[in-house]
Amino acid sequence: MRLRATSLLAALVFAVLPASLEARADESPTAPAPNAKPEAQEAPEPKTPAELRTELYARLAASSDADETDGLVGLLFSAYAQSGSDAADLLLERARKAMGEKEFDAAGKILDATIALLPDWAEGWNARATLRYLDDDYDGSMADVAETLKREPRHLGALMGMSHILEARDKKEQALKVCERVLAIAPHWRNAEKTADRLKSAIADEEL
């Protein structure tokens, strides 16, 4: 949208400019008025949450530094929490607070309301997947992870959650494959690298 608006503006300027120059060809140049103020530049439109996530995924793929990657992952997790709805964002904040205080029933009700309000928001499902994991409901958590990934296939939190659930179910090789999928998205993310190394070591020990 911004690109089309800029192109249209440029077209209008170049259409008007020749006539303007012709009319003023015989005029001597004049200095700008002493108190003239520069024209205010139009501020760029803020990125949508989806645009921000796309940009961060691209930066993660190009990153070759673990510190930079960790920082980008933090920004991505913050971007996941931006729904575009103030009401949904507030509900998520309250749910996370309740989870931190181990008030799981209250958090569950808030997240149910969040999902009902904004069913296409991946983070609502992911937050409930986290809650169910903390409450040892692995089946429920895995179901919510699946819903998260339908909406945000590269969701790093949901993928890591899936890996942890598979590991808890003693499906280490499957857990490793999911972890490797995470590393394909964020190649130098220390958290995923440590998890992958632990899983490889555990699998190697079982094969001895």
Give the integer Cα–Cα distance in Å for 132 and 9.
53
Best CATH choice for the domain 85-152 from the list 2.60.40.1180, 3.30.479.10, 1.25.40.10, 3.40.800.10: 1.25.40.10
Please state the rounded mean pLDDT for residues 54-67: 96
Burial of 130 from C-beta contacts in 10 A (0-12 / 13-18 / 19+): buried
Tens digit of pLDDT for each residue in 63-89?
999 999 999 999 999 999 999 999 999
On the question of pLDDT at 177 being above 80, the answer is yes
Give the integer Cα–Cα distance in Å for 53 and 60.
10
Q: What is the DSSP letter of 27?
A: S
Question: Quick one: pLDDT at residue 80?
Answer: 97
- State the chain's mean pLDDT as an integer: 85
Q: 10 Å Cβ neighbour count for 198?
A: 15
Q: How far apart are the first and last CA of the chain?
A: 59
Question: Quick one: pLDDT at residue 37?
Answer: 55
> Which of 107, 101, 151 lies closest to 125 in space, CA to CA?
151
Report the amino acid identity of residue 120: D
Q: For the chain, give every domain's residue range.
A: 85-152
pLDDT top residue among 46 and 41: 46
Instruction: With cut-offs at 50, 70 and 90, classify the pLDDT of residue 3.
Output: very low
Report the amino acid identity of residue 103: E
Q: Of the given ranges (2-6, 68-72, 101-105, 170-174), which has the lowest mean pLDDT?
A: 2-6
pLDDT top residue among 49 and 104: 104
Give the integer Cα–Cα distance in Å for 36 and 15.
25
Tens digit of pLDDT for each residue in 109-164?
999 999 999 999 999 999 999 999 999 999 999 999 999 999 999 999 999 999 99
Q: Are 163 and 178 in contact (CB under 8 A)?
A: yes
Instruction: With cut-offs at 50, 70 and 90, classify the pLDDT of residue 13.
Output: very low
Report the amino acid identity of residue 6: T
